[in-house]
Structure 1
Amino acid sequence: MIRVALLGASGSIGAAALDLARAYRDRIRLVSLAARKSHAPILRAAEEFGVRRIALVDPAAAARARATWKGGAVLEGDQALVELAEDEDADVVVNAVVGSIGLAPTVAALERGKRVALANKESVVLAGELLTEIARRSGGLMLPVDSEHSGVFQCLGSFSVRDVRRVTLTASGGPFLRRDPKTIQDSTPEEVLEHPTWSMGERITVDCATLMNKGFELIEARWLFGLEPDRLNVLIHPQSIVHALVEFIDGSVVAQLSVPDMRLPLLYAISYPERWCSALPRLDLVDFATLTFEPPDPVRCPGLSLARRALVAGSTAPAVLNAADEEAVRLFLNRRIRFGDLIPIVEEVLNAHRPAGALTLDSIRDADRWARARLKEAAAHVIRG
């Protein structure tokens, strides 16, 4: 029986994890649940699975939960996520929290030698270098839940990264793949949130439209697999069937294919090193007459180029990029800036940043705060209303 702490239980990854817990009641036991402020679904899940410890980051949501639920302990605040991640009753921590708030529980779990099924990409974008060192010292393990990184992990198998010439992550291309770039500058949040393949949270869906999300995934791959930037590549693949390709130095290419269903990489991250028989949808290539691939267009995919710059710069540059992007996306979703203004103001912040020397958790936090404040300054001249 694998005991799981599920952080971010109310989001799309959390829903996938709950589906798996239902399907594998004889193998998965949820020991704790956490969310930012959506207390109602957390309480329903706690009752369904007999969970006795929940955490809500928002104090008001935690108070409402305590008033209506007497089935166990209700923790609150950012530190509550760390407490659940450290809990000795949890073998695996599924970190599906959105945003930089997910970094602290990732650190806490790895320091205790736990396995982290990592969907919180910000953890690795901000602190990948530090996390890999913590995992090396403690024996902890980061297993990716992103379909692309899970694909790379599966393709690598027992091979050494020394044998890898290039790793390619695929991207659907987002909702504007075939649109004239000039016509998308004034796109509404509703248009941007219409992703052609995946059902995800709002921020990541917006980032898919600019390909900033794929840029963040390049940064993740750098640290998850120990690959230099020049060995990382992206291809547009609208069908979202091939998730990753690994080309070896002898010319062989190994690819991972599956239907686009987040439950599959999540299941592998929980069951690893085993593979469990599942009833998840199967891939039949006969159903797909054509699988297409094309290089990303820099004009359509401005976020990707910006993320590559941050990747090469290293140090605190990725933390600055993440924080500035998070704030800019929030402004866009609140209709305060145009879609076409999103990447330019993020770029302005990145251009103004001077990376710190040695990367530490304190330097990451400082860079995060600086970038959020600087983004508000950069946005002042394009703010609506």
Structure 2
Amino acid sequence: MAGVLTMQRVAVLGATGSIGASALDVIARHPQTMRASVLAAGSKVDALLALCRTHRPEHAVIADDAGYVALRDGLRDAGLPTQAHAGGEAMDALVAGDACDTVVAAIVGAAGLPSTLAAARAGKRLLLANKESLVLAGELLMREARAHGAAIVPIDSEHNAIFQCLADGNPAARITLTASGGPFRGWSREALASVTPAQAVAHPKWSMGPKISVDSASLMNKGLEVIEAHHLFGVPGERIRVLVHPQSLVHSFVDFVDGSTLAQLGLPDMRTALAVGLGWPRRIASGVGALDLLAQGGRLEFEAPDLDAFPCLALAFDALAAGGTSPAALNAANEEAVSAFLQGRIGFLDIPDTVAAVLDAMPSQPADSIDALLAADARAREAARARIEALPARGAAA
């Protein structure tokens, strides 16, 4: 019947993280047209229960099986009808079934790949914030999405900007991803040797989790985004560039064959990209105000990235050029190195050094199946851990 509003049922995977919080904020602004029907988290039972009390989903999933009893009992004690589930298989089944029609994929790391693939194979609208799904298995994910009619809307601000600029269907001649430069923009390689975890997670513009914040500080985050952009938009690496833009107001550029360049601008708030994903092709309220360039200083600056001080970006371009399993190895080695850095076991510059050593030790192999990719991921982690263990101990995290 014309004029009847349909309720969009949204699964938020990674609900207790920063992207999950932003997604739930946008969803709550539109109670007549959307609701959070599935909330999933890794191991934070208390935080998941708090979200369930607020949003009252039909299903709640804790990935860690050990948290099931606490989740079940907590939901019962709160008098909620929400069904409790545990484990990756339960999450995948809910994503693939009729519990939702839209999936916010915001689980950090390679752990988010199975549920992302399940959503694509089920033909869902997939709001993709999990970089690793594209870095680890981009060809496979995009193939499954096309085969099953899944609509992928990237939620990274940069890729969401490109998505908007390409909305008229014309192909990009070149893509430019912008980078804030992170907290260490302008620092020399020598100065970066003494960086602490606390400094690295203090991002000047964005509120993100610790792993993503470190990736932003090292520019690995931007390198992963280059690989993502290649898969999402079918643009080869040689037609993708990165510019440092400290104001973080221009989120990306797209050049076209006629000489036109389109850019998307906005305040650095993830809710804008999430509102695009949830409402597209309609524009819906996100809670983010309009950009006032004068109030923001009236200046837009751009500069080339310093690849000597921040070699992670160059390593990502190298892995993309090598293809096959190399991006999976890059991602896995980086995850291990960042974890060790956050624990205070290695220095900041040991992150790119570890990734480079793993890539050198693991020539690219064909990435023709998920098993091959997961095997490469496992081998890269093992190699990264071995190298990290061989480094001098640094003591506790700063």
CA distance in 1, matches of 2:285, 2:103: 22
Q: Which runs of 5+ in 2 are unaligned?
A: 1-6
Give yes or no for contact 2:26–2:287 (8 Å, CA) kept in 1: no
Question: Mean alpha-carbon deviation: is it higher for 215-224 or for 72-81?
Answer: 72-81
**Aligned pairs for 1:154-303 within 5 A:** 154-161=164-171, 164-287=172-295, 288-303=297-312
1:146 to 156, 169, 184: 156
CA distance in 2, matches of 1:62, 1:214: 36
Deviations 1:89-121 (A, max 9, x none): 311000110111111111111111111000011
Give yes or no for contact 2:275–2:285 (8 Å, CA) kept in 1: no
Shift of the alpha carbon at 1:349?
Answer: 0.3
Secondary structure class of the residue paired with 2:281: coil
The one-letter code sitting in structure 1 at the alignment partner of 2:135 is: V
Aligned to 1:112: 122
Deviations 1:42-93 (A, max 9, x none): 1122122221211111122222212222233211122222122112131100
Give yes or no for contact 1:316–1:359 (8 Å, CA) kept in 2: no
Give yes or no for contact 1:145–1:269 (8 Å, CA) kept in 2: yes
The one-letter code sitting in structure 1 at the alignment partner of 2:242 is: V
1:83 to 80, 93, 118: 93
Aligned to 1:369: 378
Give yes or no for contact 1:37–1:62 (8 Å, CA) kept in 2: no
Deviations 1:197-223 (A, max 9, x none): 001011111011110000000000000
Aligned to 2:73: 67
The one-letter code sitting in structure 2 at the alignment partner of 1:336 is: R
Question: Mean alpha-carbon deviation: is it higher for 211-220 or for 180-189?
Answer: 180-189
Say whether 1:51 aligns with 2:61: no
Say whether 1:17 aligns with 2:23: yes
CA distance in 1, matches of 2:285, 2:343: 43
Say whether 1:40 aligns with 2:49: no
TM-score by length of 1: 0.97
Shift of the alpha carbon at 1:292?
Answer: 0.1
Instruction: Report percent identity of matched pairs.
Output: 44
Deviations 1:262-302 (A, max 9, x none): 00001111111211144422101222321100011111221
TM-score by length of 2: 0.94
After superposing on structure 2, the runs of 4+ consecutive aligned residues of structure 1 that deviate more than 6 Å are none
Aligned to 2:343: 334
The one-letter code sitting in structure 1 at the alignment partner of 2:179 is: A
Give yes or no for contact 2:180–2:245 (8 Å, CA) kept in 1: yes
